[in-house]
Structure 1
Amino acid sequence: MKILFYIANGFVMPPAMFFMYNFYKFRGREINFTKLPISIIIISFTAVITSLQFVFPEIITALERNKEALLSGEIWRLITPLFIQPMGLWQCLFNGIFIIVFLPLAEHFYGRYLIIIYLGAGLAGQIVNYYWSAKISGGSSTAIYGVIGSLFMYILLNRKAFPTGYIFLPIAGFLGAIVLCFFKDGHAPALLVGGALSSISLYKSLDRTYAA
């Protein structure tokens, strides 16, 4: 069954990376990087908290995903695990790269609604993680997967704007996430919630377009 887990993961991240790379390569000039306040705020805040955790390790203890602490009344632990990287430098490296490349792209598509997608999907992923596991942990990847879900949904609902083969990217991504749910991987529901939240934003945009 372990091989199925890796295959399902292969259905999620490679398609997202493919889309991200090609969009930046061929249409990156469409993105105004000076007008991405939500991306700048999230990336900066995460970078500051993550940097401080290496100077003051007690920050990890205070903010990490800890089921017992949550049940004792420390409600902030539903969100704060998204802003630390308790697994060390490799987690900082990978999550740092992903947050830098995916958030600006999502904000280009969704504007300030990105904050709803990021925190909403991150919150959903943390709640599921608390339910599925008692493991003490944390990391930004849960919310990042929510952003990836929003990119898949954008492709799906705007498929006529992309080459025909692109439709297989969201199909693969959402299918992989569904399979990962059976492995109790908190990234999977976060991705699905990110897709659902972004679809609400896209449908509202379509409604405004038709109303005009």
Structure 2
Amino acid sequence: MLVVTTCWVAQLVHPELLQALRRDPPALAAGQWWRVATPLVVQDPPWQWAVLGPLTLGLGAVVERFWGGRTVVGLFVVTGLLGEAVGYAWLPRGAGSSVGAAGLLGVLVAWSLSPAARVLPAVLVPRVRTAAVVTLAASVASVVLHDVHGLPLLAGVAAGGFLLAKDRREDAA
């Protein structure tokens, strides 16, 4: 998140960074290979990191509590790159870290639908699970509508399922 925040601040000072780093299929085809990953660290529109920054940090903090900091970074990068790849197909001009945040949210959706969510106060469990199901349905709809956030969120759900299954195997051993 430090890298994304640093790039956001740099983008505020040097607005031309957005044009240099955002998704741009002709520039990518012309050999600007860095455009595979750099759309994840600039924001289009620039104000969105003011909202996404705290949200991403909050999601990351919860995921880190369960699976550690390396997992947070790995999930953010992998699901974020998936979102940017989808973006090249569905929304060729753009940028943003929201796709990485969607992946982190997906992990928490998987967790909230699992037996592990029973650590929450009993009154919250049905509400959290309802929100998770609604989020899951919205991510499927997002894919159908060609929004770049749906597949990263679903990939996060799949990763969360894998992490939960791994935890159960380790607990059983």
TM-score (norm 2): 0.88
- 1:100-111 aligned within 5 A: 100-111=57-68
What is the distance in 2 between the residues matched to 1:169 and 1:205? Answer: 24
The one-character-per-residue Cα deviations of 1:87-127 (angstroms, maximum 9, x if unpaired) are: 122x1221122122221111112212112211111111111
Change in CA separation of 1:208 and 1:58 when aligned onto 2, cut-off 3 Å? same
- The equivalent of 1:93 in structure 2 is 50
Q: 2:21 is matched with which residue: 63, 88, 91?
A: 63
The one-character-per-residue Cα deviations of 1:58-83 (angstroms, maximum 9, x if unpaired) are: 32222111111222232322221111
1:204 aligns with 2:166: yes
TM-score (norm 1): 0.73
CA contact (8 A) 2:8 2:46 kept: no
The one-character-per-residue Cα deviations of 1:111-149 (angstroms, maximum 9, x if unpaired) are: 121122111111111111111133x21011111111111
- The equivalent of 2:109 in structure 1 is 152
- The equivalent of 2:137 in structure 1 is 175
3-state DSSP of counterpart to 2:113: helix
- The equivalent of 1:77 in structure 2 is 35
Runs of 4+ in 1 over 4 A off after TM superposition: none
How large is the Cα RMSD of the aligned pairs?
1.6
3-state DSSP of counterpart to 2:23: coil
Q: Which has the higher contact order (CA 8 A, sep 6+)?
A: 1
Amino acid at match of 1:186: V
CA contact (8 A) 2:11 2:46 kept: no
**Cα displacement (A) at 1:175:** 0.9
- The equivalent of 2:155 in structure 1 is 193
Q: Which runs of 5+ in 2 are unaligned?
A: none
Amino acid at match of 2:105: I
Amino acid at match of 2:35: R
**Cα displacement (A) at 1:51:** 0.6
Amino acid at match of 1:81: P
1:124 aligns with 2:82: yes
1:142 aligns with 2:99: yes
Q: 1:161 is matched with which residue: 119, 138, 160?
A: 119
3-state DSSP of counterpart to 1:86: coil
1:44 aligns with 2:2: yes
